[in-house]
Amino acid sequence: MKKLPLLHFSLLIFLGSFAQNKPAYVLYKANGKKVSYKKMMKQLVQKDIVMIGEFHNNPISHWMELEITKDCKETRNLVLGAEMFEQDNQAPLDLYLQGKLSAKGLDSMARLWKNYPTDYAPLVNYAKENNIPFAATNIPRRYAAMVSKGGFEALDTISAKEKTWIAPLPVKYDAELPGYKNMLTMMAGHGTPNMPKAQAIKDATMAYFILKYFVPGSLFIHYNGSYHSENHDGIVWYLKQAKPELNIATITTVSQKDIKHLLAENKNKADFIICVDEDMTATY
């Protein structure tokens, strides 16, 4: 056998190191075991509600949302909903979906997030093209800000019309839920007891409008920041309080330096976990 020159042998090793697969993400089950997209989808299409928790500036999160939605549509009737639309903007969203309002008109009439054109317009346009209802589930942010400053009682001052855009008052609130307790921990003494209440009024409102738009027999897919549904907390807790019989699946996004193995701290955050390389380019 002819021996390769040392230089050539070293070059082959060097090039081989770049020939390895370099995935942008890996899917995991809650227990940290890898799962294929096909197996995940087989379970998702059997649910009543699928909560997709995203990183708002992560392109993998947004791409997966669209792909999951398209693939669920192949076997299920869908209803969609999103944190990114506040309930008082439901009317212009509906007009756009019905073809009665242009994209420019939607932008002027609704409070769209700055990354709407790249990250959420594809979902809304898919709903429009396929006649899928799309619910604006979130509380108008000004009311969440009121709760952050003055607690739930601050909402007693708003009009009856304004109250139609939020969960019915008074809302249940458990300050001991891990997500709400962790908010204060993460703020290291800079938070107030009203700050997790502001998170709770968002969660309660999103759960309320998910249920309002939910159609028995259809699959409701909801897009929200990961913290709103991680650990089956937040929105999921409110959904279960209202309808414990619902069959809900959760998906979350996490970021790691090495995505070959799911870190212990990221296990059990959701039924399915999209583990993204931390070097992934952000959308903003």
DSSP state of 237: H
* Adjacent-strand bridge partners of 263: none
Give the pLDDT of residue 6. Answer: 53
Q: Which two tokens stand for residue 279?
A: 């070097």
Which residues have CB under 8 Å from 140's CB, separation 6+?
86, 87, 88, 162, 165, 166
Q: Could you read off the pLDDT of 65-87 as tens digits, one per residue? A: 999 999 999 999 999 999 999 99
Percentage of the residues of the chain whose pLDDT score is greater than 70: 92
Mean per-residue pLDDT for 23-36?
97
Give the pLDDT of residue 81. Answer: 98
Tell which phi-psi region holds residue 268, choosing left (phi > 0), alpha (psi between -120 and 50) or beta.
left
Is the pLDDT at 8 greater than 70? The verdict is no
User: What does R_g of the chain's alpha carbons equal in angstroms?
Assistant: 22
Is the pLDDT at 22 greater than 90? The verdict is no
Q: Could you read off the pLDDT of 40-58 as tens digits, one per residue? A: 999 999 999 999 999 999 9
Is the pLDDT at 21 greater than 90? The verdict is no
Q: Which two tokens stand for residue 282?
A: 């952000």
Q: Could you read off the pLDDT of 96-131 as tens digits, one per residue? A: 999 999 999 999 999 999 999 999 999 999 999 999
Give the pLDDT of residue 31. Answer: 98
| Fold designation for 22-138+201-277 | Rossmann fold (3.40.50)
17 confidence band (pLDDT: 50, 70, 90): very low
Residue 99: closest CA among 134, 66, 137, 131 = 131
Give the pLDDT of residue 139. Answer: 98
3 confidence band (pLDDT: 50, 70, 90): low
d(CA 55, CA 71): 21
* Adjacent-strand bridge partners of 254: 275
116, 84 contact by CB (below 8 A) = yes
Give the pLDDT of residue 189. Answer: 64
Q: Which two tokens stand for residue 42?
A: 């087989």
Give the pLDDT of residue 10. Answer: 53
Q: Could you read off the pLDDT of 140-150 as tens digits, one per residue? A: 999 999 999 99
pTM of the model: 0.92
Q: Could you read off the pLDDT of 150-195 as tens digits, one per residue? A: 999 999 999 999 999 999 999 999 999 999 998 888 876 677 899 9
Q: Could you read off the pLDDT of 221-261 as tens digits, one per residue? A: 999 999 999 999 999 999 999 999 999 999 999 999 999 99
